[in-house]
Structure formats: structure tokens, C-alpha cells
Homo-oligomer: A and B are copies of this chain.
Amino acid sequence: MPEPRAAVRKMDAYSPPTEGRRDALRLDFNENTVGCSNAVIECLKSTLTADALSIYPEYAEAKRELAEFFGVAEDEILFTNGTDEAIQVLINTYIDDGDEVVLLRPSYAMYRFYAQLAGAAISEVDFSADLSFPLERLLDAIRPSTRAILIANPNNPTGTGIDAASIEPILERAPNAAVLIDEAYFEFSGVTVLPRIAYHPNLFVSRTFSKVYGMAAMRFGCLFSQAGNVNFLHKAQSPYSVNTVAVLAARAAVRDRDYVRDYVCEALAAREIICNGLRDLAIRAYPSQANFILFKAGHRAIPVRDELRRRGVLVRDRSYEIPGAVRVTVGTRAQAHRFLEELRSIW
């Protein structure tokens, strides 16, 4: 049996994706809880032919359309197989074995995953006790040898964010590092540094179609940076990693602007309902700028998750990162009421 690399042997054991979620109220993965726009489905039904599926993906037309949508040039955008591939390509482009990568803790697990896989020297900066962004400590952790800094804004699983202006000193402190701002939940926060790529050659911004767009099944994301960087990212990416169905769907999705606006409105209203409901139960919740809320269930975090699951409501236990914390995805107001009703009955 061939011996795997030391970096792979050291990685956490593989845990397969959660299964059997279809019939439940899925408040566990921060997906869009009502499904993607019907315009996406109509587009796929009319364009998916036996002939079209047999051809290797083509991206040029879609790149023109999406670059325009995002307000960037065509050579400033890279299509990725979900945000996960954006992280992977960035790490593969900039991180050699032993290179220093700065992460926040807790944050999205795939930053650590790809950094570990590359054999990086990982330095982790803890969020503050109130889960606000630890800007000063992050700035202190940046060294001249720092090669990458990966930040989710808003952050997952905390839901807390940082304003765009506060990202500037990070970019200035780390001129030799690739700084990724992962804006997977941007549509719920309204905070973005995407226009700042013009001014910062070390800035990389990612967006996903797995959250507000309701297309997690299709795996589509975009990574943005200055053209010179995108050229190197391309060299580290396989030519056909993004499937045609996702590309077609993304084009249809961005054309239906009403859908996204309406879903965001609904989710923000639902977020307030859940915040108020938790307060009424005297449960501490952290301020959220995303489509999920982290709350404290204390020693009951895992029992609460399990009891809700028995009642058909899926939430995520995060107590392995933040003692007693449970994360609930925010969907519609009706779903918020359903969640609160079930929570009240077991609390």
C-alpha cells in the first residue's frame, strides 16, 4: 500500500457529507430554504439536451455576462466549482509546504482543510469572546512571511462581520500575502470589498451561488482579483472544473434579480423573528449579518439539536468550536415560526 503524504496522514478523519435531509426543514447548512429561482429550472429544462450535455464546458459567454453582473472585467473573474475550489486554487497558487497562512477561529472549515493539505504552517487568531472580529489581534498575527489570509465576511459560523473599511488595514499590513475575503453571505450583509480589487493587488474576493441563489447542488462560485493574479490562478486550475449545468443556471439566476431581492427581504424579516423569539426564551444569540444565527444552548446543545431533528427540524451543533453553541439557518418567516414553536416545546 503506497504511503500517503505526511500532510494527508495528519488530516482529520474523513466524515462523509450529511445525508437524508430532503424531507426535513433544513436549517443546518445555510442553504436557501425555498429553492432556487424557477427561472433557473425553466432555463435548464429548455437547454439541457442530450447533445448539449455531451460537450465539454465552454465559459466565454457566461464569463462576459457574469463579469458585467459583478461589475468587473472579464479577466478579473475565475469560475470555480463552488467556493471550495476558489479556496483550493488560491492555496495551490500561493502556498508551498511550510508557508504561513493566517486563519480566524472559528471559521469556515475548508480554509483549514486546504491549508493543511498544502502542508502550510497555520496560525489561528481567535474571535473575541463576544464573537466580534478580532481586528487588532489579526493585524498583530500578520508577519512579513505571511503568504495567505483567509477571512469569511460575514463569518461562518459566528454570523458576525467586519465593515469594509476595517479590511483596508489588513490589506495594507500584508502586501506579500494573498488576502481572501469570502463573501458567501454578502447578499445578507450588504458589505463587500469587491470594488476594492482595483486598488489592492493582494485582494481576492469570492462569491457563491450555493447560498442566496439556492444552487448548492450545482457547485458554482466566482473568485475575483486583479487580472495578473487571475492569470496565475488559471494556471493552477484544471480547465474544466466547472460543469456546464452550473454555468447555465448561474446565468439564469443573475437575470432574476427580483428573486434574490425578495428572498433576502424575507430572510432578514425571519432573522428578526428568530432573534426576538430567542430573546423571549432568554437564550443568548449573537448578532448576525448572515442567513443564520448562532445561539447558546449551553450543555443542551447536542440534545437540542437531536430533539429538533426528531421533530423534523435540522440545525447544526457547533459546540465543538464554541461551547454550547447551536447554529440555525434563517429561511422564511413561516419557517422561523415553525423553528421557534418546536424549540419552545422542548426548551
Contact = CB atoms under 8 A, between A and B. Distances in A.
Nearest to A148: B2
A25 B226 CA distance: 37
A283 B37 CA distance: 54
A36 interface: yes
A255 to B, nearest CB: 15
A38 B94 CA distance: 44
Nearest to A201: B1
Nearest to A213: B54
Interface string A1-26: 11111111101111011111110001
B31 A55 contact: yes
A315 to B, nearest CB: 15
A218 B243 contact: yes
Contacts of A20: 58
A305 interface: no
Given A31-B54, A58-B17, A81-B241, A236 B97 contact: no
Given A48-B45, A176-B3, A218-B244, A235 B54 contact: no
Interface string A217-245: 11100000010110110111011111111
A214 interface: yes
B243 A217 contact: yes
Contacts of A54: 31-36, 214-217
Contacts of A97: 96-97
A95 interface: yes
Interface in A78-121: 81-82, 84-85, 88, 92-97, 110, 113-114, 117, 119
Among A20, A45, A55: residue with most chain B CB under 10 A? A55
A53 B217 contact: yes
Nearest to A6: B96
A51 interface: yes
Contact of A238 (B26, B45, B84, B214): B84
Interface string A28-47: 01011111111011001100
Identical chains bound together, number: 2
Given A2-B177, A16-B60, A56-B216, A88 B238 contact: yes
B50 A35 contact: yes
Contact of A5 (B41, B94, B214, B215): B94
A6 to B, nearest CB: 8
A44 B228 CA distance: 39
A262 to B, nearest CB: 14
A324 interface: no
A215 B240 CA distance: 13
A178 interface: yes
A4 B117 CA distance: 17
11 contacts: A5-B94, A11-B235, A12-B235, A17-B56, A17-B59, A22-B55, A35-B54, A41-B53, A50-B214, A56-B216, A217-B244
Nearest 7 Cβ contacts at the A-B interface? A35-B50, A217-B244, A54-B214, A14-B234, A1-B201, A35-B51, A84-B238
